[in-house]
Structure 1
Amino acid sequence: MKKYHLVYLACTVAVVGTGLGAAPASAGHLTHVVHPGQSIQKAVGAAAPGDTVLIAPGTYRESVTVTTPGLTLRGMGRGVVIQPAATKTAAKTAARTTGKSAGRATGKDAAKATDTCAAAGNGICVVGTKDRKLEDVTLASLTVTGFTRSGVYAVDTDRLTVRKVTAVKNGVWGIAQEASVRGVFRGNTARDNGDAGLFLANSITTEQGATDTGGTLVERNRLEGNRIGVTVRRLRNLTVAENHVTGNCAGVFVVGDENKPKAGAVTVAANRIVRNNKSCPKTARLDALQGSGIVMTGTEDTLVTQNVIRDNAGKSPLSGGVVLFKSFVGTTSERNRISDNELSGNLPADLVDQETAKANTFEANSCQISRPAGLC
């Protein structure tokens, strides 16, 4: 097996040969080029902060863990496919080997993180720590598919960028992030994943109040055929805008609970949310889903505006165009504003407010049917 190649980002041959083009890099930053049959993780382990790992088209059977700040992991288009290792034994061996090779960047922690990522069933993991968030990592222009948990999973990151990534047929989430701030998720495709195409949360395992994301942005993604297109769970200060959401059991979920501070201060704007009529069975945490456009439960101070929400129809308690649903732990939604949306063909109604208190505002929406009547 040949070693991966090291070239300077400013090198004309490397830039022109890949057909990508790039701005001149800072002095000393390298591009590590990986070809089919070579190890992405080995190149990631050898990379220094600010370097780029550039992946040539082909299929790579491995999990990859990034623990180096400022690293860019970029494929030469969606023909770069990352899949699970062929066997569990091969996956464990690869994780141990490539983890050791990552010692230059992060020492023993990298080996442990690499092994954990693969063993948990994830494709690409971007991992910081509670005490020191991993900063300025970029993932771009590749496909990740077939993992039992997540295609991309990030924890404890700051300013993570995920763009033009295709996450298909992963067991739980397509692209997931927790305990992170100032992320940008732009131009991705998440399709046919077991739970949410895009999942963002404060903490997956710990009961705690909503956290401020510092302005995380989810925009211009295509989300289709998942259980839920986008889930925003126990977060504040986040924008979901200009996404195309179709063919899921539910389009967008903004979820809170009884913890303080309450989830909210989220903007859901200018999305196209149509025909999310796939049927998904009840789970331990959530009722059966079908025909839900936007669902808000246990949230406050959220703005839903200028969305096109059409033909989302079902018989679930959460079905409808925009649904305010009292949370399963009894937390009400308050001071949310639903305005200037275009709604039609949603059943049982375009606007559904199941809250008993009149604490939310519906204004200037173009719609036909509401429950209770008078919201249109």
Structure 2
Amino acid sequence: MNKCHIAPLACAAALLGTGLGAAAPTAAHTVHLVRPGESIQKAVDAARPGDTVLLARGTHRESVSVSTPGLTLRGMGHRTVLRPQAGPATATAPDTGTAAGSCAAAGNGICVEGTQNHNVDGVTIASLKVTGFRKAGVYAHKTDRLIVRNVAAAGNGVWGIATEQSVRGVFRGNTARDNGDAGLFLANTVTAEQGAMDTGGTVVERNRLQGNRIGVTVRRLRNLTLTDNHLTGNCAGVFVVGDENKPKAGLVTVRENRIERNNKSCPKTARLDALQGSGIVLTGTEDNLVTRNVIRDNVGTSPLSGGIVVFKSFVGTTSERNRISGNLLQGNAPADLVNTDPGQGNTFHGNTCRLSTPAGLC
């Protein structure tokens, strides 16, 4: 592990240009270079708030836990690859010297974790590929202002990139492909029944979600935006999911996305019916805006199939006051617009489409 005690941009240029170590110290934050075979966790443990841990090109075999505020963990593009290690976990948890935390030990790749009483603030994960982990490629819990950008999360057992109990995140320019469940999963909590959490304006922007069970799942959250993403080849494109808990999930804006040919077939699970051919599904949520999306050729025979589907949740909670407007829908089946929810105030205006269930929504 090398340390560069110069301004981060200059340091990165020096490292890329020469592959060598440190220059003269200044008051700027430190860049810690980690080459394949060296311990990323040791570099993370040694880093201070505002530092960068820079992963050199090549394959790194390790799970990593991050709890230092303001830390950047960055690769040199998708030729920087993080995979599970072959043997038992040996990483140390930040600042303790003990065995790796439960998140990394459970089979996640990169874990960003706050504590029960304090979110970890301002962490950035960027410019690398994370693949082959048993659970999530990147998993975050109790974070504030987390940035995940230009990350490829592929072939992980459950989620590509996942967050719980986190606020004000930015997920931009990532690729999540061929993960077992959602490519991008955002939730209040998975392990407990709770009302929807306000994310404070989390943004999911310019990502490509392909070949997953669901492209993006937003579960029991409020106040976030999905915009300018491309979702294709999943069993379902976007799920916005709520249930009987209060406050209710909603206030999600889904706009200007391309959602095409999400026709992979996925079997029924204990929580959800079989999936195929779903573009956008709203179930058990309120006050969402779905607008200016292009939704084409999503075809299936599931109860949730169709271009945009408003569906009463499986625990009986209705969807209410959702606005579906100004979308272009073509070639979706059984219909471009589907509303099987008896909830009040769901509106369909100004959409370009041919077929709806019930008739008259186009």
1:17 aligns with 2:15: yes
CA offsets per residue over residues 127-157 of structure 1, 9 Å max, x none? 0012110000000000000001000000000
Measured in 2, the distance between the counterparts of 1:175 and 1:36 equals 23
Measured in 2, the distance between the counterparts of 1:155 and 1:225 equals 25
Measured in 1, the distance between the counterparts of 2:203 and 2:122 equals 15
**302 and 26 in structure 1: CA distance in 2 versus 1, 3 angstrom threshold:** farther
Aligned to 1:198: 184
SS of 2:49's equivalent in the other structure is: coil
Aligned to 2:21: none
- Greater fraction helix: 1
TM-aligned CA deviation for residue 169 of structure 1: 0.4
Aligned to 1:327: 313
Measured in 2, the distance between the counterparts of 1:237 and 1:14 equals 36
TM-aligned CA deviation for residue 16 of structure 1: 3.5
Aligned to 1:362: 348
Which amino acid in the other structure matches residue 361 of structure 1?
Answer: T
TM-aligned CA deviation for residue 116 of structure 1: 1.4
Aligned to 2:157: 171
* C-alpha contact 1:156 1:180 (8 A) present in aligned 2: yes
SS of 1:173's equivalent in the other structure is: coil
Measured in 2, the distance between the counterparts of 1:356 and 1:212 equals 26
TM-aligned CA deviation for residue 358 of structure 1: 4.5
Aligned to 1:307: 293
Aligned to 2:82: 82
CA offsets per residue over residues 95-132 of structure 1, 9 Å max, x none? 2xx33xx42xxx36xx45x3312321100000001211
Measured in 2, the distance between the counterparts of 1:146 and 1:324 equals 34
Measured in 1, the distance between the counterparts of 2:242 and 2:36 equals 44
* C-alpha contact 2:75 2:126 (8 A) present in aligned 1: yes
- TM-score of the aligned structures, taking structure 1 as reference length: 0.92
CA offsets per residue over residues 178-224 of structure 1, 9 Å max, x none? 00100000000000000000000001111010010000000000000
Aligned to 2:47: 47
Aligned to 2:34: 34
SS of 1:44's equivalent in the other structure is: helix
TM-aligned CA deviation for residue 64 of structure 1: 0.4
TM-aligned CA deviation for residue 14 of structure 1: 4.3
Measured in 2, the distance between the counterparts of 1:117 and 1:82 equals 16
* C-alpha contact 2:321 2:344 (8 A) present in aligned 1: no
1:262 aligns with 2:259: no
Aligned to 1:73: 73
CA offsets per residue over residues 313-349 of structure 1, 9 Å max, x none? 0000000000001001100000000000000000000
Measured in 1, the distance between the counterparts of 2:207 and 2:359 equals 33
Which amino acid in the other structure matches residue 83 of structure 1?
Answer: R
SS of 1:150's equivalent in the other structure is: coil
Q: How does 1:1-376 map to 2 (within 5 A)?
A: 4-10=1-7, 12=10, 14-18=12-16, 27-87=27-87, 89=88, 91=89, 94-95=90-91, 98-99=92-93, 102-103=94-95, 107=96, 111=98, 114-376=100-362
CA offsets per residue over residues 61-111 of structure 1, 9 Å max, x none? 110000100000000111111111112x2x2xx22xx33xx42xxx36xx4
SS of 2:101's equivalent in the other structure is: helix
Q: Which runs of 5+ in 1 are unaligned?
A: 20-24
- Kindly, what percent of the aligned residue pairs are identical? 70
* C-alpha contact 1:9 1:15 (8 A) present in aligned 2: no
Which amino acid in the other structure matches residue 5 of structure 1?
Answer: N
* C-alpha contact 2:277 2:301 (8 A) present in aligned 1: yes
Count of aligned pairs: 355
Instruction: Report the RMSD for the aligned CA atoms in angstroms.
Output: 1.6
Measured in 2, the distance between the counterparts of 1:270 and 1:69 equals 33
Measured in 1, the distance between the counterparts of 2:343 and 2:287 equals 15
TM-aligned CA deviation for residue 27 of structure 1: 2.4
**158 and 324 in structure 1: CA distance in 2 versus 1, 3 angstrom threshold:** same
TM-aligned CA deviation for residue 357 of structure 1: 4.0
SS of 2:259's equivalent in the other structure is: strand
TM-aligned CA deviation for residue 225 of structure 1: 0.0
Measured in 2, the distance between the counterparts of 1:26 and 1:241 equals 40
- Which stretch shifts more, 74-83 or 115-124? 115-124
SS of 1:43's equivalent in the other structure is: helix
Measured in 1, the distance between the counterparts of 2:334 and 2:135 equals 33
CA offsets per residue over residues 12-54 of structure 1, 9 Å max, x none? 45424326xxxxx992410000111111111001000110001
Aligned to 1:22: none
Measured in 1, the distance between the counterparts of 2:207 and 2:145 equals 18
* C-alpha contact 2:37 2:61 (8 A) present in aligned 1: no
